[in-house]
Structure 1
Amino acid sequence: MINSMDLKLTAVSTDIKRISAGALVLGVAKGTDGPVLVASPFSAKVTESLQGSLAALNITGAADELVRLPATAETKAETLAFAGLGAFEESTLTEEALRRAAGSATRQLAGVPTVLFALPAATVGQAAAIAEGVALGAYQFNNHRSTPAKKLPLGEAVIATAASADKDLPAALKRAAILGRTVRATRDLVNTAPNVLFPESFAQAVKDNAKGLPLKVTVLDDKKLEKDGYGGLIGVGGGSERGPRLVKIEYSPAKATKHLALVGKGITFDTGGISIKPAAGMHLMKNDMAGAATINQAIVAIAELGLPIKVTAWLCMAENMPGGASTRPGDVITMFGGKTVEVLNTDAEGRLVMADGLVAASNEKPDAIIDVATLTGAQVVALGHRTTGVMGDDTLRDAVVAAADLAGETAWAMPLPEELRPSIDSQVADLANIGERMGGMMTAAVFLNEFVGEVDGVKIPWAHMDIAGPAFNEQAPYGYTHKNATGSSVRTLVTLAEQMSAAK
């Protein structure tokens, strides 16, 4: 299921005259007085000539713009590709702008086997951002096609940088390659058809992907889940012929001083159950396992990077189908840990499987718990398609948002209003699985909060990431983001793990 091609990333000095490539990518900024060629590797004469031609060729420097021209005599590249960097002053060029420009160019240059990037890269950070953008942009999903694509993704990228001799650059390029590979793997999982990826096959894909890595994978099948009282997973998965699974992935390096638990929603297809969804758009519900795919690949990246932090991932997998054994509206189920929940709507199923996972994670008394889920349509209403909503313990919540900002992903801190808690009271059970409709993203988080455990009477720091919008792009591709699965939040979690492991 994970079938993304490998990508070779290397760095060279800015003297690129003798380097052969299918295309040479140059950066163009959208200046106040017109387009500006930035960090040209050419002589002053050639640079001046190119600069004078930009406007006449309708090159504006706008983000996602890519214009190809025949190459000049000063390069062995076959073509020149002018990539838009967007509007900025040169001193304020961000790494994310470079990441997006490199990713956009890579995405649009599919079919070119080798590309040389001469975007602004004076520092290791800038070179790494370009490499990461390339690694994110070089993607294609062909797993279900009978014939291979005519234009394959970029296979080799060479980055021209003034920091080519810096001792920190090799590690930065390795990190970029790992992040790109794990994001692409996340996309592969989410893009896979639901008749191919279901709880059992998803669990097997996780096991296969962990081979050769310092990861321990344990799979709890439906019989074990029922025996041990995982009522959320059993209740949600009961209507499907394909039973639920709980997959535990452990990374335990010897020098770890902190323990981070990750919990991911893995609904491999969501019909809504008895509270069935409308037919229009239901095919997109194959992406309801994006949270589990995200934390799976985050822990893979953390292991590959060798970060000195213990991480345990809990992937809560089920297929939500109507059937003779489906949970009905009005049923009361007993969750793992003993709390009871009245199910008022079987389409609010994600929080039920996540509750089981949160209790299991809490029982190990980690230093922090983060859950990731395509949980609510209300997230999209509140924050749109590109911004993750983050709720929970204020300190950890804000750390997640800061990590997202550093990683180049968009997240926004949201509250857990105390007035929403009474709305999930039940007349017959401990809780109801739905409550106040307005602010539904926060209501769902208030429900999850009830299943986060304590250590010595103090609640474990917990943050909830609702990626319902950011996990899947139904619109046109942009930057390094392709259409369909995005791989959102893998980089945020890895960045946060790096910060936690580095903190004293």
Structure 2
Amino acid sequence: MFFEILSDNPETLETDCLVVGLEADGQLTPSAARIDQATSGALTDLIQSQDLSGKAGELLLLHKLPGIQAKRLLVAGLGKEDERKDRHYRKLIKGINATLSKLNLSRVVVALDGRASELPDLYRQTRLLVEWTSADFYQYDTTKSKKADPITLEQFAIHLPMEDAELGESALLDGVAIANGVSSARELGNLPGNICTPSYLADRAKALAEEFDSLKVKVLNEDKMEKLGMHSLLSVGRGSAQPSKLIVIEYNGGDDDSAPHVLVGKGITFDTGGISLKPGAGMDEMKFDMCGAASVLGAIEAAAEMHLPINLVALVAAAENMPGSQATKPGDVVTTLSGQTVEILNTDAEGRLVLCDALTYAERFNPASVIDVATLTGACIIALGHHASGLLSNDQELADALMQAGDYASDRAWPLPLWDEYQELLDSNFADMANIGGRSAGTITAACFLSRFAKKFRWAHLDIAGVAWNSNGKDKGATGRCVPLLCQYLIDLAEEATDAAEEEEGAPHHHHYH
């Protein structure tokens, strides 16, 4: 689907469908008013006969109105001003797209006049419209013999006044890049474990490097990891016939001497729990245990597409956790890359065992910040449900930056405490630490474990167990969540880098980060 910005008068636009907004109590938006005038009061008549009211989410499709060029007009109710929070805005776009997808259209123009969201930020409204529309039209058919019907909608235009077109254009470019990153992450998440193995993730990373000159990839195999001393990461894949991998992707968009920001993704391509076997019901969803890795890959892809002027490294710790004759047993002790020893009391607390070695590996980049992303704990779903990612950090400024990025990107995170008092729960009689801390505060003790490997840099941990996929019926599948949050964080860093460079040169540049 091709996105574009148009600024012609709404009534003159030749399109298969024009979408305009109507506010509560039949208040016409500017575009709706122009259409009303061009059609000799067609909308006013519908409002007076109470066929249209403008209540939130209301949709009415009209055909062949005389006086306008569009073949169809879809009138969308925006509701009262306090009914336009992100949640309502998202529902409205979902409703509009559901209606559009049922019609045989090739071109659509959406003219909501910046009124559909409570925040007047036009860049944000436009970018979210692009991201959400792309998500609404995503279809998974890779492993189906009958492929999905191709989407007839080729051109999705967003109407903005001429003076806002340039801002809209930059929002659209960023939105498309983020949407592509989200789609890539969803595709990887949705692929079954027999296709999406650690080797497959490595091949995807190599394919990305072929697509973008700014990316280079290195894959560490088991021998190399063994030589380095990554016995914790390796312990997870011991029971599997699939070899584990550490995938390193470098994106260089900034100055050679500027420190990179590192994203670390948990890439457990299937998680049986190992010897601490999970219950069978719903275990198929453990193909989603690499969604952290998928979101990190999606974010670096989007950064490359946006040409962000920063340096970035993505580390994907990939393994398949299976019970087998070689598998790690509860009570085994391993030595991590950092030299610290771990008593593995539960082989199903394996995400932290691959991440801890990847975090130590991140030290060699002298990073400006390190963020790990993982479907880490079921406890996070108990704490925060399926709405927010859990956020824990050893640096308040970094935590705040991620919180704000999540709010702006409509992909929210919420903080939990990382206090020293929780660390004692990981005490072990037989190693430096245990890999689990008991029933209480599971999300926090998992982060406490990781924090012991993140002492040399500013670090934050995002637990996406509750948001990375949907379990229900038709909606079942990966969400690509955390890609928007990570991309916004990177855009903010890019903006800081650009502003700093401008101050040095004393000349203003035009840059398209919001």
Does the alignment reach a TM-score above 0.5? yes
Does the 8 A contact of 1:244 with 1:318 survive in 2?
yes
Q: Relative to structure 1, is the Cα distance of residues 290 and 85 closer, same or farther in structure 2, using a 3 angstrom cutoff?
A: farther
TM-score (norm 2): 0.87
Pair 1:492-2:485 in alignment = yes
2: CA distance, partners of 1:140 / 1:193: 15
TM-score (norm 1): 0.89
Corresponding residue number in structure 1 for 2:230 = 230
2: CA distance, partners of 1:381 / 1:120: 40
Does the 8 A contact of 2:97 with 2:136 survive in 1?
yes
Pairing of 1:20-31 with structure 2 (within 5 A) = 20-29=14-23, 31=24
Amino acid at match of 2:385: G
Corresponding residue number in structure 1 for 2:249 = 249
Q: What is the percentage of aligned positions where both structures have the same residue? A: 38
1: CA distance, partners of 2:382 / 2:254: 44
Residue of structure 2 aligned with 1:61, choices 56, 65, 77: 56
Q: Relative to structure 1, is the Cα distance of residues 115 and 277 closer, same or farther in structure 2, using a 3 angstrom cutoff?
A: same
Corresponding residue number in structure 1 for 2:4 = 10
Report the Cα offset of residue 371 of structure 1: 0.5
Corresponding residue number in structure 1 for 2:470 = 473
Does the 8 A contact of 1:107 with 1:139 survive in 2?
no
Q: Relative to structure 1, is the Cα distance of residues 60 and 96 closer, same or farther in structure 2, using a 3 angstrom cutoff?
A: closer
Corresponding residue number in structure 1 for 2:240 = 240
Corresponding residue number in structure 1 for 2:507 = none
Does the 8 A contact of 2:26 with 2:53 survive in 1?
no
SS, match of residue 264 in structure 2: strand
SS, match of residue 319 in structure 2: strand
Corresponding residue number in structure 2 for 1:204 = 203
Report the Cα offset of residue 97 of structure 1: 5.2
SS, match of residue 157 in structure 1: strand
Pair 1:188-2:187 in alignment = yes
1: CA distance, partners of 2:481 / 2:174: 17
Does the 8 A contact of 2:427 with 2:434 survive in 1?
yes
Corresponding residue number in structure 2 for 1:73 = 66
SS, match of residue 492 in structure 1: helix
Structure 2, unpaired ranges of 5+: 116-121, 501-514
Deviations 1:68-122 (A, max 9, x none): 3434224443433344545525xx9567754653354225533533222121238
Report the Cα offset of residue 35 of structure 1: 6.1
Report the Cα offset of residue 475 of structure 1: 3.6
2: CA distance, partners of 1:396 / 1:300: 22
Out of 247-256 and 428-437, give the one that drifted further.
247-256
2: CA distance, partners of 1:197 / 1:86: 44
Report the Cα offset of residue 411 of structure 1: 1.3
1: CA distance, partners of 2:472 / 2:81: 26
Pairing of 1:147-226 with structure 2 (within 5 A) = 147-150=146-149, 152=151, 154-163=153-162, 166-213=165-212, 214-226=214-226
Out of 224-233 and 292-301, give the one that drifted further.
224-233
Q: Relative to structure 1, is the Cα distance of residues 254 and 394 closer, same or farther in structure 2, using a 3 angstrom cutoff?
A: closer
Corresponding residue number in structure 2 for 1:3 = none
Out of 42-51 and 187-196, give the one that drifted further.
42-51
Q: Relative to structure 1, is the Cα distance of residues 386 and 95 closer, same or farther in structure 2, using a 3 angstrom cutoff?
A: closer
Q: Count the aligned residue pairs.
A: 481
Report the Cα offset of residue 381 of structure 1: 0.5
Pairing of 1:108-123 with structure 2 (within 5 A) = 108-110=99-101, 112-121=105-114, 123=122
Does the 8 A contact of 1:342 with 1:432 survive in 2?
yes
Does the 8 A contact of 1:124 with 1:163 survive in 2?
no
Q: Relative to structure 1, is the Cα distance of residues 58 and 141 closer, same or farther in structure 2, using a 3 angstrom cutoff?
A: farther
1: CA distance, partners of 2:27 / 2:378: 42
2: CA distance, partners of 1:181 / 1:49: 42
Pairing of 1:290-329 with structure 2 (within 5 A) = 290-329=291-330
Deviations 1:392-438 (A, max 9, x none): 12221111011100111121111113221001011101110000321
SS, match of residue 42 in structure 2: helix
Does the 8 A contact of 1:139 with 1:153 survive in 2?
no
Corresponding residue number in structure 2 for 1:46 = 42
2: CA distance, partners of 1:102 / 1:36: 19
Report the Cα offset of residue 499 of structure 1: 1.4
Amino acid at match of 2:248: K
Does the 8 A contact of 1:420 with 1:436 survive in 2?
no
2: CA distance, partners of 1:203 / 1:189: 12
